[in-house]
Chains A and B, each alone.
Chain A
Amino acid sequence: MDFGFTEEQEALRKSAREFLTDRSTTGLVRDLMASKTGFDEKLWKEMADLGWMGTAIAEEDGGLGLSLIELAILVEEMGRALLPSPFYSSVGLAAPVIAATADGALRKTLLGGIASGELRATVAIPEEEGRWDAAGIKAKATPVDGGYKLSGTKVFVPDAHLADEIVVVARTGKTKDPREGISLFLVPTSDRKVKVKTLDTIDRTRRLALVKIGGVEVPVDRRLGPEGGAWPLLERALDHSATVLAAEATGLATKVLELSRDYAKERTQFDKPIGAFQAISHRIADMLVLTENARSTTYYAAWAIEEGVPDAALAAATAKVAASEAARVVSQGGMQVHGGIGFTWEHDMHLYYRRAKWVEMFLGDPSIWRERVASLFA
């Protein structure tokens, strides 16, 4: 038993922090918030040159063949730095879904492309009802000659406007159990019958989109995984993805905790640093508790998924709840500790809060993941 990081992992963290401190400044975040797409092509290329997109992708699929633990380390640093990038949607969400379902040449093309940064993908799950479960999947794929005809409206698709390919979760069969009859299809955003409209998202650097799919023809070899039996594979991939989000939340919470601690030491009221008042210091102590819980559960989940131990799914759900709640509560606390200034547009605290809220809600809010925890009790 060992809950330590290797020297290589510590070195990866250090270099990632240095790079992101230099490049992912709040100045950049604010510029991208105001920009048309929220995307910095140059920064994306630099990260690709560092090999970051291929971290957890297997070597035979064109990646570096490291583990989810290394990816979590990188993403934790991205959370600290509020990195504005489609990294999560492509690497943290689409890649595990593709890795769990695609095979053959397509698998190599997709994962190799994601790993090199040359291809960006995303995944479309919820629809207008806003559900993350199988029963919410109404988009329909009807068999036609040589493939399927796909129609439906997907909402809350992350970075769809920046993606080359969208993995669309659709229904190929109607059965009593909603988890059956679900299939995944790879839809290029270049198709004329795909309409992507970005939504006014709380985190402007990570936009969500509405995607209308109006009778797109998908050849059979662009179906990912078995027809009608993709839901369990998707679910497992989303455990992986939830752990990536948990890592981002952990980094974010850690950074806000540090900012709040530093501010509480400097800011003086009633002739004392405000951190000397227990109303403030106890709140920051509670923020530390949540941040520690987030870190511990996240890295355990990363390890458990990587090793495929029996409680991996439970570990991922636990991490999603612990870390996403930590990020939201800690950034709320950070705002309170900073007082009036923390509520202004100029101060960065709202940027953290916005990201925290996005991370908390994406893939399902904490009540959904707590229900999953309960459903996984032995």
Chain B
Amino acid sequence: MDFRDSPEEAAFRKEIREWLEANIPADWDRSQLSLIPPEDRVDMLRDWQRRLHEGGWAGISWPKEYGGRGATLIEQAIFNQEVARQKAPPPINVIGLGMAGPTIINHGSHEQKNRYLEKILSAEEIWCQGFSEPGAGSDLAGLRSTAILDGDSWIINGQKVWTSLAHVSQWCIFLARTDTTAPKHKGITYFLVDMSSPGIEVRPLRQITGSADFNEMFFTDVRVPRESILGEVNDGWRIAMTTLLHERGTLGFALSVGARVALDELIGLARETKKNGKPAFEDPTIRQRLASLHVEVESLRLNNYRALTGFMKSGMPGPEGSLSKLIWSESMQRLGDLAVEILGPAGMLERWDANPRVNTWQFIHLRSRGHTIEAGTSEILRNIVAERVLGLPKHK
């Protein structure tokens, strides 16, 4: 047990720290925007990821042969810590780097790896994820989009929803039913779809924050080449599980660092905001709640260290990632609740020129309402934890 950097890890930390200091764009507003999702600043963030890639910092955990750095998970954790500490911009291609790329590395053919991976790293091609449907949210395997083989191509029909980045994506990882007679987990195939294919319509979905982080997608007789599938026909469910493990598995670390940054800023807000004539930070009930949040955020960080140590031994992310996401989402909501309470009556405002902090915290507060729903609702995550970590009987 040792939570300090080894000499190699310290050298790695110094390297990324110096690189970030030299390369974060001067016009990047670290105080306001580090906590806000990237959708509105696509060009800037695409440039940023290109710069990251040129510096060798995009997809650092990917194997070297696919353009990554072959970094250990510890190095990845250090990278995430430094990125969060310096409030660097996020890379634009989060689905590509965190989900599509690792799944292609695990299940793709030689040609597919050559075709897609480099362009994910450089952000030349942005990816989105066509999994959820209006009728298949938590019950993902109930999806009804179909793909029918017609000569040398598949014809895809269906509707997807909650698709982040679809409006700026060139490619989509897409699940469709290819055998309607098979049991629902058995007839699904995993597609890699060119978003410029005729018949795809993308409509932005505005959410509670007023911004459009995600979209609806309508596929009408979309024709894609026969070879646009990942793995075997009707084996898509198994492959999709790799994607979701990566979504929750390695995301945990970034989430915990993000929560720490947000909590430190909240402590700053409490020190600088007056409540009944005194700094809110001096109010005993607020101190208790800040301390509880510290316990949660610190638990999240340390649970991730433990999961990481296990991950290093086993080579695959375990179901603990579901646990991290569950804790993180609920903590972020409590953090948002406390922030708007500290703001006092200004917590009723969406934006306020007199105090621009309102804009940021209200965004975080409203945005966090969705954290317990996206990427697996808290209810689904509790099912996963109960069944796969604790071995309790299936709830059906």
A interface residues with partner B (beta carbon < 8 Å): 1-6, 69, 261, 264-265, 272-273, 275-278, 281-282, 284-286, 288-289, 292-293, 295-297, 299-300, 303-304, 307, 309, 315, 318, 321-322, 367, 370-371, 373-374, 377
Show 16 residue pairs from A and B whose CB-CB distance is below 8 angstroms, ordered by the A residue. A1-B305, A3-B309, A4-B313, A265-B393, A275-B393, A278-B395, A281-B383, A281-B387, A284-B392, A293-B296, A297-B295, A300-B305, A309-B3, A321-B291, A373-B291, A374-B287
B residues in contact with A321, CB < 8 Å: 291-292, 295
Cβ of B138 within 8 Å of any chain A Cβ, yes or no, is no
Cβ of B26 within 8 Å of any chain A Cβ, yes or no, is no
User: What are the 3 closest A-B residue pairs judged by CB atoms, nearest first?
Assistant: A296-B302, A293-B299, A370-B291
Instruction: Kindly state the interface size class of chain B when it binds its partner.
Output: 35 or more
A275-B392, A293-B295 as given contacts; A370 in contact with B287, CB under 8 Å: yes
B98 to chain A, nearest CB (A): 21
Q: Which of B1, B326, B386 contacts A303 (CB 8 A)?
A: B1
Bound state CA distance, A261 and B393, in angstroms?
Answer: 10
Q: Are A318 and B295 in contact (CB under 8 A)?
A: yes
Cβ of B379 within 8 Å of any chain A Cβ, yes or no, is yes
- A-contact 0/1 string along B356-396, CB 8 Å cutoff: 00000000000000000000000100110111011111111
Q: Are A371 and B291 in contact (CB under 8 A)?
A: yes
Q: Which of A3, A264, A278, A296 contacts B379 (CB 8 A)?
A: A278
Q: Which of B4, B299, B382 contacts A296 (CB 8 A)?
A: B299
B residues in contact with A367, CB < 8 Å: 288
Q: Are A374 and B288 in contact (CB under 8 A)?
A: yes
A69-B1, A292-B303 as given contacts; A276 in contact with B392, CB under 8 Å: yes
A285, A300, A322, most chain B CB atoms within 10 A = A285
B interface residues with partner A (beta carbon < 8 Å): 1-6, 9, 74, 77-78, 267, 284, 287-288, 290-292, 294-296, 298-299, 302-303, 305-306, 308-309, 313, 323, 326-327, 379, 382-383, 385-387, 389-396
Q: Are A292 and B392 in contact (CB under 8 A)?
A: no
Q: Are B3 and A296 in contact (CB under 8 A)?
A: no
A370-B288, A371-B287 as given contacts; A281 in contact with B1, CB under 8 Å: no
Bound state CA distance, A11 and B309, in angstroms?
Answer: 19
Closest to B292 in A: A370
B6, B9, B291, B394, most chain A CB atoms within 10 A = B291
A residues in contact with B295, CB < 8 Å: 293, 297, 318, 321-322, 370, 373
Given contacts A276-B394, A281-B382, 19 further A-B contacts (CB under 8 A): A3-B1, A3-B305, A265-B391, A275-B386, A278-B379, A278-B383, A281-B386, A281-B390, A281-B392, A281-B395, A282-B386, A284-B390, A285-B386, A288-B385, A289-B327, A292-B303, A293-B299, A296-B299, A297-B298
Closest to A275 in B: B392
A residues in contact with B326, CB < 8 Å: 289
A281-B383, A297-B302, A371-B291 as given contacts; A377 in contact with B1, CB under 8 Å: no
A284-B386, A293-B296 as given contacts; A377 in contact with B394, CB under 8 Å: no
A289-B323, A370-B291 as given contacts; A277 in contact with B395, CB under 8 Å: yes
A264-B392, A370-B288 as given contacts; A286 in contact with B382, CB under 8 Å: yes
A347 to chain B, nearest CB (A): 21
Q: Which of B291, B382, B396 contacts A282 (CB 8 A)?
A: B382
B residues in contact with A370, CB < 8 Å: 287-288, 291-292, 295
A residues in contact with B284, CB < 8 Å: 371
Bound state CA distance, A261 and B298, in angstroms?
Answer: 26
B314 to chain A, nearest CB (A): 12
A1, A278, A284, A296, most chain B CB atoms within 10 A = A1
Bound state CA distance, A296 and B309, in angstroms?
Answer: 12
Bound state CA distance, A331 and B283, in angstroms?
Answer: 31
Q: Which of A281, A304, A322, A373 contacts B299 (CB 8 A)?
A: A322
A residues in contact with B313, CB < 8 Å: 4
Closest to A286 in B: B382
Q: Are A2 and B2 in contact (CB under 8 A)?
A: yes
B93 to chain A, nearest CB (A): 27
B270 to chain A, nearest CB (A): 9
Bound state CA distance, A186 and B375, in angstroms?
Answer: 58
B35 to chain A, nearest CB (A): 20
Q: Are B393 and A276 in contact (CB under 8 A)?
A: yes
Q: Which of A2, A286, A300, A374 contacts B302 (CB 8 A)?
A: A300
Q: Are B298 and A2 in contact (CB under 8 A)?
A: no
Bound state CA distance, A276 and B316, in angstroms?
Answer: 27
B residues in contact with A3, CB < 8 Å: 1, 3, 302, 305-306, 308-309
Bound state CA distance, A3 and B308, in angstroms?
Answer: 8
Q: Are B323 and A292 in contact (CB under 8 A)?
A: yes
B residues in contact with A272, CB < 8 Å: 393
Bound state CA distance, A261 and B386, in angstroms?
Answer: 9
Q: Are B299 and A297 in contact (CB under 8 A)?
A: yes
A305 to chain B, nearest CB (A): 12
Bound state CA distance, A111 and B303, in angstroms?
Answer: 35
B376 to chain A, nearest CB (A): 13
B328 to chain A, nearest CB (A): 11
A140 to chain B, nearest CB (A): 30
A76 to chain B, nearest CB (A): 14
B residues in contact with A303, CB < 8 Å: 1-3
Q: Are A4 and B1 in contact (CB under 8 A)?
A: yes
Bound state CA distance, A230 and B113, in angstroms?
Answer: 66
A265, A276, A284, A292, most chain B CB atoms within 10 A = A292
Bound state CA distance, A321 and B299, in angstroms?
Answer: 11
A residues in contact with B327, CB < 8 Å: 289, 293
A residues in contact with B3, CB < 8 Å: 1-3, 300, 303-304, 309
Q: Are B379 and A282 in contact (CB under 8 A)?
A: yes
A297-B295, A377-B294 as given contacts; A285 in contact with B288, CB under 8 Å: no
Q: Are A285 and B390 in contact (CB under 8 A)?
A: yes
A residues in contact with B383, CB < 8 Å: 278, 281-282
